[in-house]
Structure 1
Amino acid sequence: MTALLTVENLTIGFGGGAPVVDDVSFSVNPGETLALVGESGSGKTLSCRSALRILPAAAQMRSGKITLAGKDGKPDIDLMSVSERKMCAIRGERISMIFQEPMRSLSPLHRIGNQVSEVLRLHKKISKSERKKRVLAMFERVGFKDPLRVYDSYPFELSGGMRQRAMIAMAMVGRPDILIADEPTTALDVTTQAQVLGLIKDLQAEYGMAVVLVTHDLGVVANMADSVVVMNRGRVMEAGQAPLILNDPKHGYTRDLMAAAPEIPETIPEQKSETERDYILEMRDVSKTYVLKGGSAWKPKTVINAVRGVNFGVERGKTLAVVGESGSGKTTTAQMALGAEVADAGSSILFRSEPGGEAVNLQDLDKAGRLAFQRKAQMVFQDPYSTLNPRMRVKEALTEPMEIHGVGSNEERLDRATEMLRWVGLSENMLTRFPHAFSGGQRQRLSIARALMLGPTFLVCDEPTSALDVSVQEQVLQLLEDIRDRLNLSYLFISHDLAVVARIADEVAVMRSGLVVEQGPPEVLFHDPHHPYTKALIAAQPEPDINRPIDLNIVSQGAGEPSTWPEAFRFDGVEAPPLTQTGPNHKVRCYV
């Protein structure tokens, strides 16, 4: 079979430095999925961007050849020498790309529908009404429940996962010959990820489309790829058919990637009774309701029940993980646990800073009490780059919390910053650097160091490893575990990655549409799940095992509407079954 896209001896560099892509070669056939696998900085994204000629201005194409097979009997196209005008016709028409960060790729000034339909306006000679019809159909296929609302929305009105789905729709609506997918599911929940991967495979089979998948997730590779190219520091370490690479990797780097891939472990449950528990934070009947104005004066207000009747506690020195998809209410729950959001009347959020101490209700704190609580409770955010001030050096970013709370002298603050850097595995000579000088994993370590500056006893970790490579993710998880054990910290850990949760959590609460649908220790929850949504989350978790593909039937049933669930769990509207004790420390929202 003739290859659709061929890359030969590609070398890319910047300035007079060593090549960042060095003698890379690969090819992809029609209907085939090629996975480029490697950590950040391995050169996989630059290799793909070179096929579209959208490299950074400072990048130098030092050598190599990229060939696109001709269509309808036409000769092959040398993408390195073709004119820019013809290249514009190829982009979107024959080769499309899904970018990793949709917020940077979508125009904030234009509606989503207009941006997606622009592909059809540029490359397809069809009417405006037909363009809108095709875009809405594609929106429905990528999982939007209300395609018309999304069509008229701006990017900032959508969640991160919804923006990524819009990018996928934009890349696919023109039915390209080659789809380059650069970490297309990094920002998605596992259930949405499974459905999107299934969608890509369906469209690939339907249109005979070739897919070049850029990823660091070997579970995604196992479910999608026909062939694999493993890259490290700009070079190809290993290449071949996916079954051979995943089942019997030969190169040491590939084996290290396989070993670092998180998996849900098989362990024996260790039970503990409720009476033995010492809670640092308890949430009792906690709800949060938002009322949104109508789009116009005559439209009614919309009531959103973001969180409904949450009851759980974070045990001192332990980790409670809250898992669920975007919109499940887990982040709102975390914000209320920190006092950043005020819960509805009747909610009770109790915090005990010391074992056996008097509990304070975060709902009733005055300004002084809230300031004292904030010294005990801090947050580690998902994206450290956006939370670290780019104009502040590390020294200033770390000492700022102590300055705000009036803690210590300048010398004591600097000593504390130096100590925290050592705690997170960084050097004190990094104090004078700016955040942009660090890798993603290093920035996350800085974010953890900043959260520890005031000596807190309670940390909320909001998706702290979701954007990291598997090896860096492993390092950050190990760091969080070590710090928790050394300082006896308590974590409320927000995530959608069940393998990460199984690694770090002592107890797990699964949320869907503002409700906790199942709760228990990870050993029980992941190996004896009762609720259909929990089963869907587990089934959707990609594993680096080519013989254990994602079961989309289980995923679609559990991720569907509650009215379609089995009778014991089914509900419609706001009247849901109670959270029922089904075993030791195991609760399920169901009718007995």
Structure 2
Amino acid sequence: MPLLDVKSLNIGFGKAPPVVQDVSFSVDSGETLAIVGESGSGKTLTCRSVLRILPANAQLRGGEIKYDHAGTVCDLLTAPAKQMRSLRGDRISMIFQEPMRSLSPLHRLGNQVAEVLHLHQRISGSDAKKQVLAQFERVGFADPARAWASYPFEMSGGMRQRAMIAMAMISKPDLLIADEPTTALDVTTQAQVLGLIKDLQRETGMAVILVTHDLGVVANMADQVVVMNKGRVMEAGSARAVLGAPSHGYTKKLFAAAPVIPAVAAPSRPLAKTDIILEIRNVTKSFTLRSGGWRAPTVITACRDVNLQLPRGKTLAVVGESGSGKTTCARVALGAITPDAGGQVLFSARSGDLPVDVHNLTPAQLRSFQRDAQMVFQDPYSSLSPRMRVQEALTEPAEIHGIGTKAERRDKAEEMIRMVGLSPDMLPRFPHAFSGGQRQRLSIARALTLDPQLLVCDEPTSALDVSVQDQILGLLEEIRDRAGLSYLFISHDLAVVARIADEVAVMRDGVIVEQASPDTLFYNPQHPYTQALIAAQPEPDITRPIDLDLVAKGAGSSESWDELFRFEGQNTPALREVEPGHMVRCHA
């Protein structure tokens, strides 16, 4: 008897046809089953049915889910509510895709994770805190004590996801359901978390159901694979069989869309920097965090001495792990937060215009800048109002700026929603009616409604499945080339960056450690952290697993790097040009 056995599962809404139809699979203790498919294919609904946490209007129309706990088999679809409460979070845990929706904004992260232990075990507060701090360290928090005392809104998206992973794994469950568990994580942390899940499986015999669109993650983790599309199973079998020789056309399509770091024969010429639309000069940004009680406030430097130039019509990518200062730089560039004294952001909307200082604009200049520079945020659920229909969300920017009539704004909304691959029929819906990937497409459409000159993209494809990601990247490239749009592209995915960027700046601990064109960077990476990022990129090839030792070496403490690159605290070496257009932070 397998640990979990799902047979002929059917789920629907109202009188509509089922959205999950005749789905069957099983998973044994110690085994990893990957459920792969596009956004909206029914993967998440299938997994939520295991814990019976479906939406209120969802109907379980048939099937059974048998769970074998210590030799006692029960059907989770008919088990009493009290039994389900004892299983949820203890014997069966789930990592959710959007941590901001799953974490309470009113409670500190440490208390929320410790609550799992208090609910299911008789444990003292001090023992619970000790276990939570140890788990925080294992999932990649550089400062577990600070993470314990922080609220979710004080953390980046990747940091919040680490806390969710710690919460799901703290009780060492029999079954871990991971719904896109590494989507918001940088690739080095992703590699370490995947390694952590494997370690726990070896220690406890835990089974894992991994819901993902990343075939590289599947290749590194899965024993069995189920491919879903439109609520049905398209293909299922061992990972070696499905990944090595996919049979179904849909599976082949997913492989064709999977991004990979290209093999580079030689470095490219450095990017010419003549017509600059955005320049970041000597930008440092510090934040003061309250410490509580009588302790002095803590000063955190998010980014330090950042200098970047973005040529018009090009894409500058900023890559690094969560908490490296990427998003802070983007917000400073958009004028959302003010840099420390001495920092400047210069913007020139059109070729030939004199640059303006973004942080010293007149009201008229600010209004013009806000129209010319837009941002696509990492978390689409937070950036779209749950109270506004999609049509209102897409017409609001033009309405604020007094552009067009009501009918023209409606036409523009229809044009934008088509541009990102959705139907105008969806305009009357609210954001909660869309999947995570669809909401991100809506966020991109909203940012494009004002026809901006500069688009700052903060992890715009991190929530998307590979086929939609491929479409969005193609769309962004097409818009850039057609309209001369310029992108400041924030990402942790080097495969995405390799495709879209003209120049890449790699950030670590608030400073740029390496900067070059993608070809140069991938052909001749110099810095140990850059080498770790490349090594951590999962490939959809079961014979080429991630080299965790190389990842750990480069992604570890900067004090452990080779002497040429080592820096301690604020004492960093200078950013030096080692070859034309290739900058590396190293000692002379």
What TM-score do you get using the length of structure 1 for normalisation? 0.93
For 1:91-240, list aligned pairs within 5 A.
Answer: 91-240=88-237
Q: Give the C-alpha shift of residue 259 in structure 1.
A: 1.0
Instruction: Name the SS of the counterpart of 2:523 in structure 1.
Output: coil
Corresponding residue to 1:478 among 474, 478, 490: 474
* Aligned alpha-carbon RMSD (Å): 2.4
Which residue does the alignment assign to 1:288? Answer: 285
Instruction: Name the SS of the counterpart of 1:508 in structure 2.
Output: strand
Moved more, 484-493 or 59-68: 59-68
Which residue does the alignment assign to 1:591? Answer: 587
User: 1:43, 1:430 → 2: CA distance?
Assistant: 19
Q: Give the C-alpha shift of residue 557 in structure 1.
A: 1.4
Q: Give the C-alpha shift of residue 387 in structure 1.
A: 2.5
Counterpart residue type for residue 61 of structure 2: R
Tell me the number of residue pairs that the alignment of Structure 1 and Structure 2 aligns. Answer: 588
Which residue does the alignment assign to 2:465? Answer: 469
For 1:530-569, list aligned pairs within 5 A.
Answer: 530-569=526-565
User: 1:224, 1:33 → 2: CA distance?
Assistant: 7
Q: Give the C-alpha shift of residue 119 in structure 1.
A: 2.8
Q: Give the C-alpha shift of residue 278 in structure 1.
A: 2.2
Contact 2:261 2:498 (C-alpha < 8 Å) held by counterparts: yes
Instruction: Name the SS of the counterpart of 1:145 in structure 2.
Output: coil
Counterpart residue type for residue 98 of structure 1: I
Measured at CA, do residues 269 and 51 of structure 1 come closer, stay the same or move farther in structure 2, by a change above 3 Å?
A: same
Query: Deviation per CA, 1:378-398, whole angstroms, max 9, x where unpaired?
Result: 222223443233444444433
Which residue does the alignment assign to 2:51? Answer: 52
User: 1:305, 1:132 → 2: CA distance?
Assistant: 27
User: 1:244, 1:91 → 2: CA distance?
Assistant: 33
Corresponding residue to 2:396 among 365, 376, 400: 400
Contact 2:39 2:437 (C-alpha < 8 Å) held by counterparts: no
Query: Deviation per CA, 1:128-169, whole angstroms, max 9, x where unpaired?
Result: 443333233222222223333333443333332222222222
Q: Give the C-alpha shift of residue 14 in structure 1.
A: 2.3
User: 2:12, 2:271 → 1: CA distance?
Assistant: 59
Counterpart residue type for residue 15 of structure 1: G
Query: Deviation per CA, 1:505-527, whole angstroms, max 9, x where unpaired?
Result: 01111111111110011111122
Counterpart residue type for residue 20 of structure 2: V
User: 2:285, 2:374 → 1: CA distance?
Assistant: 21
For 1:266-345, list aligned pairs within 5 A.
Answer: 266-269=263-266, 271-273=268-270, 277-296=274-293, 298-345=294-341
Instruction: Name the SS of the counterpart of 1:374 in structure 2.
Output: helix
User: 2:41, 2:398 → 1: CA distance?
Assistant: 38
Q: Give the C-alpha shift of residue 472 in structure 1.
A: 0.9
Instruction: Name the SS of the counterpart of 1:397 in structure 2.
Output: helix
Q: Give the C-alpha shift of residue 84 in structure 1.
A: 2.3
Measured at CA, do residues 400 and 83 of structure 1 come closer, stay the same or move farther in structure 2, by a change above 3 Å?
A: closer
Query: Deviation per CA, 1:322-368, whole angstroms, max 9, x where unpaired?
Result: 11112211111112222222222222322223334322232432222
User: 1:18, 1:282 → 2: CA distance?
Assistant: 53
Q: Give the C-alpha shift of residue 23 in structure 1.
A: 1.5
Counterpart residue type for residue 290 of structure 1: F
User: 2:76, 2:8 → 1: CA distance?
Assistant: 14
Give yes or no for the alignment of 1:18 onto 2:17.
yes
Give yes or no for the alignment of 1:253 onto 2:258.
no
Contact 1:330 1:494 (C-alpha < 8 Å) held by counterparts: yes
Contact 2:259 2:466 (C-alpha < 8 Å) held by counterparts: yes
Q: Give the C-alpha shift of residue 11 in structure 1.
A: 1.8
User: 1:463, 1:497 → 2: CA distance?
Assistant: 9
Moved more, 207-216 or 123-132: 123-132
Corresponding residue to 2:79 among 62, 74, 82: 82
Measured at CA, do residues 215 and 382 of structure 1 come closer, stay the same or move farther in structure 2, by a change above 3 Å?
A: same
Query: Deviation per CA, 1:13-49, whole angstroms, max 9, x where unpaired?
Result: 2233222221111111121111111112222222222
Which residue does the alignment assign to 1:386? Answer: 382
Q: Give the C-alpha shift of residue 260 in structure 1.
A: 1.0
Q: Give the C-alpha shift of residue 293 in structure 1.
A: 4.2
Counterpart residue type for residue 84 of structure 1: A
Measured at CA, do residues 462 and 304 of structure 1 come closer, stay the same or move farther in structure 2, by a change above 3 Å?
A: same
Which residue does the alignment assign to 2:372? Answer: 376
Counterpart residue type for residue 288 of structure 2: V
Q: Give the C-alpha shift of residue 238 in structure 1.
A: 0.8
Contact 2:157 2:379 (C-alpha < 8 Å) held by counterparts: no
Instruction: Name the SS of the counterpart of 2:539 in structure 1.
Output: coil
Moved more, 302-311 or 447-456: 447-456
Which residue does the alignment assign to 1:40? Answer: 39
User: 1:175, 1:190 → 2: CA distance?
Assistant: 24
Unaligned runs of 5+ in 2: none
Q: Give the C-alpha shift of residue 75 in structure 1.
A: 3.7
Instruction: Name the SS of the counterpart of 1:526 in structure 2.
Output: helix
Query: Deviation per CA, 1:98-149, whole angstroms, max 9, x where unpaired?
Result: 2222232233344333332333333334444433332332222222233333
User: 1:561, 1:20 → 2: CA distance?
Assistant: 47
Instruction: Name the SS of the counterpart of 2:513 in structure 1.
Output: strand
User: 1:65, 1:374 → 2: CA distance?
Assistant: 53
Highest CA radius of gyration, 1 or 2?
Answer: 1
Measured at CA, do residues 110 and 573 of structure 1 come closer, stay the same or move farther in structure 2, by a change above 3 Å?
A: closer
Q: Give the C-alpha shift of residue 60 in structure 1.
A: 2.5
Measured at CA, do residues 574 and 81 of structure 1 come closer, stay the same or move farther in structure 2, by a change above 3 Å?
A: same
Tell me the percent identity: 67
Measured at CA, do residues 354 and 234 of structure 1 come closer, stay the same or move farther in structure 2, by a change above 3 Å?
A: closer
Q: Give the C-alpha shift of residue 314 in structure 1.
A: 0.6
Instruction: Name the SS of the counterpart of 1:40 in structure 2.
Output: coil
Give yes or no for the alignment of 1:5 onto 2:28.
no
Contact 1:12 1:21 (C-alpha < 8 Å) held by counterparts: yes
Measured at CA, do residues 273 and 229 of structure 1 come closer, stay the same or move farther in structure 2, by a change above 3 Å?
A: closer
Moved more, 175-184 or 219-228: 175-184
Counterpart residue type for residue 176 of structure 1: P
Contact 1:290 1:304 (C-alpha < 8 Å) held by counterparts: yes
User: 1:293, 1:124 → 2: CA distance?
Assistant: 32
Measured at CA, do residues 291 and 165 of structure 1 come closer, stay the same or move farther in structure 2, by a change above 3 Å?
A: closer
Query: Deviation per CA, 1:403-459, whole angstroms, max 9, x where unpaired?
Result: 333344555545544554555455556555544455545544443343333332221
Contact 1:271 1:584 (C-alpha < 8 Å) held by counterparts: no
Instruction: Name the SS of the counterpart of 2:225 in structure 1.
Output: strand
Measured at CA, do residues 499 and 274 of structure 1 come closer, stay the same or move farther in structure 2, by a change above 3 Å?
A: closer
Counterpart residue type for residue 465 of structure 1: T
User: 1:92, 1:5 → 2: CA distance?
Assistant: 16
Moved more, 371-380 or 213-222: 371-380
Corresponding residue to 2:346 among 332, 338, 350: 350
Unaligned runs of 5+ in 1: none
Instruction: Name the SS of the counterpart of 1:93 in structure 2.
Output: coil
Give yes or no for the alignment of 1:519 onto 2:515.
yes
User: 1:557, 1:87 → 2: CA distance?
Assistant: 42
Which residue does the alignment assign to 1:67? Answer: 66
Moved more, 456-465 or 506-515: 456-465
Q: Give the C-alpha shift of residue 552 in structure 1.
A: 1.1
Moved more, 404-413 or 7-16: 404-413
Which residue does the alignment assign to 1:29? Answer: 28
Measured at CA, do residues 532 and 138 of structure 1 come closer, stay the same or move farther in structure 2, by a change above 3 Å?
A: same
User: 1:210, 1:431 → 2: CA distance?
Assistant: 41
Counterpart residue type for residue 257 of structure 1: L
Give yes or no for the alignment of 1:505 onto 2:505.
no
Contact 2:288 2:300 (C-alpha < 8 Å) held by counterparts: yes
